[in-house]
Chain A
Amino acid sequence: MNTPLVSLIEAGKSYGSLDALQSMTMSLNEGEVMGLFGHNGAGKTTMMKLILGVISPSRGKVEVMGMAPDSKEAWHCRSKVGYLPENVSFYEQLTGLEVLTYFAKLKGFTGQGAKKQVTDLLEQVGITHAMKRQVKTYSKGMRQRLGLAQAFIGQPKLLLLDEPTVGLDPMATRDFYKTVDQLKSNGSSIILCSHVLPGVEQHIDRAMIMSTGQLLAMGTLSELRQQAALPVAIKPSGLNGSVASDRKLKRFLTAACPDTLLVPEQEKITVLRQLLSHDGLEDLQVEAANLEQVYQHFLSLHGKQHEKKHQSSLPASGVQS
């Protein structure tokens, strides 16, 4: 059993009466990539700050590499942590090279070591051609790449990336995910914080869904799918309305999409067999619920619960009769 690299035990943070983060428990193992999803104000950034040790928890315990990250002992661990903030504009008057060199020095690299590290990283994120230019001339995408290079300094064991792919073009996004996979295979743990993005699914091991400072769901994608019990969409073609006349299949059709069968996970195989028995079947598309749908499901569920709570706390009126 490995001890987890990061663990939050009933940890929460309040600012005055505002609960930025309600008590939550989670852990992140070595070499694991966790996706952290939620709207603005969901508590993602607060959680990252807790893990980074920039703020201290109001209650509960946070441990990173076996130590409280806001303590003095955890100091030397900080050079093993990389962070990409959500909105960062680096020193505009410095060149990309100078910015990165400054940060590398602060992470403890000196002289030739720093130089090599910096040129390698600039190469890796693909802004070597612009490294002698001032940051103020950089495009949004280039700034984001510079931010990533900064987070990658010193082969961090733990990476926290807030909206890493914002402003990146598709090529750069692909390169970014490649780097994520590579870091992961080197044993780095990564927390990817984002709005739900297409393409992130195959790169994360587990997902956390948060809203208004509360953890709504956590688990692998298939676990979350199971919890959400979202139907699988099956789209047959070439059947020419014979589905609608099939008594067994008819009930999976909805008015909204008359060509698609929405089938619960456990009945998927039965329905597929049934469909295959139709001679006219030309093609078949099976789509499990994607991350976005799972995310929407948990959010709307949370919204409903919230409403219900609100209603039940109102004085009951007009109930007699």
Chain B
Amino acid sequence: MRQILTVANKEFHDGLRNRWFISITLIFALLSIGLTYFGAAASGAVGVTSLSTTVASLASLAVFLIPLIALLLSYDSFVGEQESGTLLLLLTYPLSKSQLLLGKFIGQGSIIALATLLGFGASAVLLYFQLGDIEVLTRFAVFICSAILLGLSFTGIAYIISLSVSEKSKAAGFALITWFLFALAFDLALLALLVGVEQGISQTGLTQLMMLNPADIFRLVNLSGLDSSDVNGALAVAINASLSQGQLFTALIAWVVLPLTLAIFIFKRKKL
């Protein structure tokens, strides 16, 4: 356990040192406060808009940003150390592969979690003071928790990439493709399926397909409780057949645990 914390501590400080933490926090805070205040600008008004509009815009924003940031933060975790030779050295220390991986995960995960909490928390506080509604806090709690899980999930996916390739530049390429597939292509494919194949897919079938993408689960978590006027596309259909929040969170957690387990498995079989 102490070994894990030593690694985690180092990774966390790396994140602070190379300004990742401050950048992510600032990006999240600026965007979320901006959306909170100016979300209604399109309809001609400036000022705090309704809670559900805000959460809907934040969720659509976060679903692109968080995976990208998590992948960028972690894609070189292993391949980078392999290239510089420190990976081999670390493994001659009394430190097991799973300890190293979990340590990195805790360290880099904390960066993402803390940045998400502070960045989006800022607009939660702002909104709470404006609206004075306790529902703001519960909504945002759900939003922030699911956002953190989304980030952790893509950190695990980034580790799989980082452990499967032997060059940093390749890892970067794969990270970008992964982001594109999960954040954009998957939804387009779903939509095409929905429109193109008549009666090809039921509502439950669609929802089940969405479980294959952590980004979509995140969307479902945050949009399912909203007025459907703020939601459209494939999601609106899926929401009608929606699963409970508990089930969705379980699915998200599975999307954190499974990539991590797979990453450990790959790491253990990796030729050094």
Contacts and interface: CB of A to CB of B under 8 A. Distances in A.
Given A49-B272, A88-B84, A79 B94 contact: yes
A297 interface: no
Contacts of A108: 94
Nearest to B81: A91
Given A55-B272, A102-B10, A106-B6, A90 B84 contact: yes
Interface string B1-30: 011001100100010011000000000000
Interface in A86-120: 86-91, 93, 102-103, 105-108, 110
Given A15-B271, A54-B88, A75 B6 contact: no
A119 B2 CA distance: 22
A83 B92 contact: yes
Contacts of A105: 6
A264 interface: no
A30 B18 CA distance: 44
A90 B91 CA distance: 14
B84 A107 contact: no
A311 B18 CA distance: 60
A95 to B, nearest CB: 10
A236 to B, nearest CB: 51
Interface residues of B, number: 22
A107 B93 contact: yes
Interface string B63-98: 000000000000000000000111011111111100
A268 interface: no
A53 to B, nearest CB: 8
B94 A54 contact: no
Contact of A78 (B7, B14, B93): B93
Tell me if B's interface is mostly helix, strand, loop or mixed. Answer: helix
Nearest to A105: B6
A31 interface: no
Contact of B85 (A15, A52, A88, A102): A88
A75 B95 CA distance: 8
A85 interface: yes
A102 B94 contact: no
A246 to B, nearest CB: 58
Given A85-B89, A93-B14, A105-B6, A78 B94 contact: yes
Interface string A115-149: 00000000000000000000000000000000000
Most chain A CB within a 10 A radius of its CB, from B91, B92, B96: B92
B79 to A, nearest CB: 14
B272 A89 contact: no
A81 interface: yes
Pick from B7, B84, B271 the residue with the most CB of A within 10 Å: B84
A90 B10 CA distance: 13
Contacts of A83: 89, 92
B85 A89 contact: yes
A273 B272 CA distance: 58
A108 B84 CA distance: 23
B141 to A, nearest CB: 35
Interface of B: 2-3, 6-7, 10, 14, 17-18, 84-86, 88-96, 271-272
11 contacts: A15-B271, A53-B92, A54-B88, A55-B272, A78-B92, A85-B85, A88-B86, A91-B86, A102-B10, A106-B6, A107-B93
Interface of A: 15, 49, 52-55, 75-76, 78-79, 81, 83, 85-91, 93, 102-103, 105-108, 110, 150
